[in-house]
Structure formats: structure tokens, C-alpha cells
Amino acid sequence: MEFTSGTKKIFLFIMEDWKLLLFLTFIFSVYFYYTSTFDFFEKKGIKYMKPTIFLGNLGQRLIAKKSFHLFQLDIYNYFRGNPYGGIFEGRRPVLYLFDPELIKAVTIRDFEHFVDRNTLNSNEPRYLKQSLLNLKGPEWKNIRSILTPAFSSARLKCMLSLIEMCSEQMIIYLKQYDKTEVEMKDTMGHFTLEVIGACAFGIKCDALTDENAHFLKVAEKFNFMPKLKRIIIFSFLIFMPKMIRYFNISFLYTPSIEELVRILKAAKEERRLSGNKKNDFLQLLIDATESEKSDTTSKTHLDDDTIDAQSLLFLIAGYETSSTLLSFAVHVLATKPHIQNQLRQHVEEVTSGKKIDYEVLSQLSYLEAFLLETLRKYPPVSRVDRTCTKNYTLPGTSVQIKVGEVVAIPIYGIHMDPDIYPDPEEFRPERFMGDEKKERSSHLFLAFGAGPRNCIGLRFAMFSAKLAMIALLKNFKFSASSKTVDPIKTDKTAVLLKAEGGLWVHLEAL
């Protein structure tokens, strides 16, 4: 067979420059793969942010130019006036919801279509995989039903004396810093760790009596992330999201998590061996396990790893979020003395001459409003997301969401929307009182999430926060110090809310 001169030239070019052709083919394949999803929203007629290859719309976040909270606010403002909009996390499309009715539909009314959270799905240990945060479908529902009684009114009442004891220890601890500057995030972390240890696991953490206590030092580093690890995780999420399932990767600091699990396992075994029963979270899990063993029809499979997962989640989630709430609340007191005076007067009027019990706590309406307003302006988590588990069409639209696709709700954006919360930068507890509270849809306050998959410990968090604030207001006056930064600058590397440089106040015993 004879070749034409043109064919011969092409053949010779391929033979001589195959490496260049292979390289160009590789470049084209990579470009095609990482941009092949970029028409996802355009095909659906949805407004979206123009993405960049590899990074999508995460450029500012990956180089830590903007905090995660402000990033969510930017997304919200970019799509203002639209019921929904799209962004890209790497090559993965994420549909954001902004319309209140759509948010209600996805989180509450049509929850069965969005049961699962969007999780990392790495090959991490079962004591992390099996936590309520990561569980999916029926398994999540079963474990949630087992855990719910741990936060009933009856159990909270039983915990009151323990939390009061921790509050008294906190006052003693803080008095050593009288008339000095104090960083409140660490201080409130000591308190919340002591409360959770006592109320949930019967563990004395010594967090308020010994600043070098082992449990405290271990717990404080649970979310520490070295720079190299941060780069590795983001590289997986952006470039190889499907490969992450084969690696033991977690956002948590492995040495601390392993030691915390060891401590919690020891507490569990000691409880089982001693036979001493307590009315706490750990006992509820142990009893549920024993009950399941005797019930041959049970399908819950509440094994030791699942118990350890819930224990660890309760510890680290409660420790981080409650300490954030209390520390930002004290910052507000220090920078807004008129609110501090009004709140102290309110607490004195309601509690004067009374024993602090569950009923008295329920009467502290202004204190509750103050804490809710703190959570509105400073929510520990800035976004909530859900993975579609059953094909769904957004109500009133032709937009279809398929199984596996992710929807997100920008908590911080909603909380700072002037149409929902007028003058959002102003701190005003009255937003959560009287008619103003009644006239606003409850699902537009998202500090604890919304719907069946909201924060299971929200009542415990508010209960312990109220007791802590009563003790603080009765014993101390807070004011701005030379280290106080207002308005607060948020840490650009953290996912959860964190103040850059800490939250410093001047403290004076009353």
C-alpha cells in the first residue's frame, strides 16, 4: 500500500514528536475533565459564579484571603434577589438556596429527599465514621432516636446541679484574673469542657482547677490542622475527590482524637465494670447497647465504635460551639455596656431570692434573646448543606436535583440579610422577643440548623449557657481592654467561627 506525501509527513511527525503529542493530549484531557462540569448550571438556566479551572470558586478560600463566614456572605450578596444560585467547589457544582420557602421545603417539609449531610467520606476510623454527623439514611434515624432522650427536660433538670458546680468553679478560676485582661475563648473552653465531662461522661476534667490538666490539653488541640495537612486535604477535595475514600483523612487532629477516644473508652469500661449507673449521656448509650443485645429483632447495630463515635462528637462539638457562643457573648458585654447593665438587671430581677431551677431559667426571656442574638451575629457554623437522596424538583420551578447532588444554605448570609434582620450589624436582643420573633419564620434562624437534622444538643447548649451567663453577670463586670478588637476580625484559615487573635476583655469582680 502506497502513502501520499501528505500522509507520509503526518506519519513522520507522529513518529518524531510523539512525546509532544502525548503531552498535548494529557493537557487537553486534564482541561476537559476539570471543566466538563462548568456548564452544569448554564444548562439548567441557573445563575452561577464563573469558575476557574481546578479551583472553581474557592480561590480566595484556598489562599486564606477571606474567612469562611465572609465567603458565605459574599455568595449570598452576589445572588441577592435570586431564589437560588450555583457555585463550584473545584469541579463539583453546589446549588445554594436563598429563598425562605425553598429553605423550608428542603430542610423541613420535604426532608425525606435530603436526609443526608454532605460528608468527607474518607477511609477514617469507625469511631469517626459512625458519628451522628456522618451517618446516613435509616441508620442516622435510628441512632438519632436513641440519643434524643438524653436531652429531654427531665435529664436536663438532673444536670442542673452539675452545671452549677462547674459555674462556681469557673468563678473561682476567673477571680485570679481580677482587674486584668483575659482571653475568653480559652477560658470558656475550660468551662464547657468541664460541663460536658461532668454531665455526659461522669469525668472530672480539672479544666478549671489545673490549666495543665491532661484532658484539657488534649481536647484543646482536637481541631489543630498543620499547614501541610490542610494542603493535602484541599488537594484531594479539588483534584481527586473520588480517591479520598481510600485514605484515612480527617479535618481533626489525629493524636488528640485518638487520646480522647482512649479516655472515653476507659470511662465506658469503668462504668460497665463498676455497675454504677448514672443519669447521663454515656449511661444512655450503654443501656441502649445492652437493650439491643437482648432484642434479636433490633436493626440498629449500636456497637462500641458507634457509642464511641457519639461520645466523641458530643464532646468536641459541644466543647467548640458552646465555648464560641459564651466567649462572643462576653465580648458583646464588654463592648456594649448598656446591654450588659440591662442584662444584669434582668437576671437580678428574675432570680433574686430564688433557687435557680429549670422553671426560673425558662423565665429569663431577655437572657435567652441575648444568647440567640449572639448566635445570629456570630454563628459558629456559617453554612449547612444536604445531599439529595431522592430525585427532587424545587417547588415552583423546573429545576431538578438528582440523587448525590449537593445543596447548601448560607447561614451567615441569611443572618445578615437586612430584609430578614433589619440593621443586621446592630446587636439587638429584642429581635428574639415578642411580636418581632413571632412574625419571623423560625427556619430563618439557622445557628442550630433546621428540620429533623438540626443540632441534637441545642437545648443542652442553651441550658448550660444560661447558667454560665447568670454566674458571670452576678460576679463580674466586663469592659473593653487594650487588646479588645471591635468589630471582630475573623480567622481566615478556620472553618468554624474563630476570632483572629482571640477575644480579650478586661475583667473586674463585683
- Rounded distance between C-alpha atoms, residue 331 and residue 505, angstroms: 7
- Rounded distance between C-alpha atoms, residue 245 and residue 124, angstroms: 8
| Proportion of the chain above pLDDT 70, given as a percent | 94
Q: What is the pLDDT of residue 12?
A: 62
Instruction: Answer whether residue 20 is part of any domain.
Output: no
CATH of the domain at 310: 1.10.630.10
462-493: pLDDT as tens digits: 999 999 999 999 999 999 999 999 999 999 98
| Weakest-pLDDT range from 22-26, 176-180, 461-465 | 22-26
Q: Which pLDDT band, with edges at 50, 70 and 90, does 294 fall under?
A: low
| Proportion of the chain above pLDDT 90, given as a percent | 63
Q: What is the mean pLDDT of residues 434-456?
A: 94
Q: Are strands 92-97 and 84-89 parallel, antiparallel or unpaired?
A: antiparallel
Instruction: Answer whether residue 1 is part of any domain.
Output: no
Instruction: Answer whether residue 161 is part of any domain.
Output: yes
Element (H or E) spanning 392, and its range? strand 392-393
Q: Which residue has the cell 424545587?
A: 394
Instruction: Answer whether residue 162 is part of any domain.
Output: yes
Q: What is the mean pLDDT of residues 1-14?
A: 58
Expressed in angstroms, the distance from the first to the final Cα of the chain is 103
335-375: pLDDT as tens digits: 999 999 999 999 999 999 999 999 999 999 999 999 999 99
Instruction: Answer whether residue 87 is part of any domain.
Output: yes
Q: What is the pLDDT of residue 1?
A: 47
Instruction: Answer whether residue 29 is part of any domain.
Output: no
199 appears as a binding residue in the annotation: no
Instruction: Answer whether residue 63 is part of any domain.
Output: yes
- Structurally, the chain folds into a number of domains equal to 1
Full residue range of the structural domain in which residue 358 is found:
44-509
182-222: pLDDT as tens digits: 999 999 999 999 999 999 888 888 888 887 788 888 888 88
pTM (two decimals): 0.92
Backbone angles phi, psi at 488, to 5 degrees: -70, 140
Instruction: Answer whether residue 435 is part of any domain.
Output: yes
For residues 233 and 413, which has the higher predicted lDDT (pLDDT)?
A: 413
Q: Is the peptide bond before 487 cis (omega within 30 degrees of 0)?
A: yes
For residues 293 and 349, the answer to whether their CB atoms sit within 8 Å is no
Q: Which pLDDT band, with edges at 50, 70 and 90, does 229 fall under?
A: confident
**Using CB atoms within 10 A of its CB, is residue 46 exposed (0-12), middle (13-18) or buried (19+)?**
buried
Give the neighbor-by-neighbor strand order of the sheet with 476-479: 180-183, 504-509, 476-479
Report the mean per-residue pLDDT for the chain. 90
Among candidates 423, 382, 386, which has minimal Cα distance to 404? 386
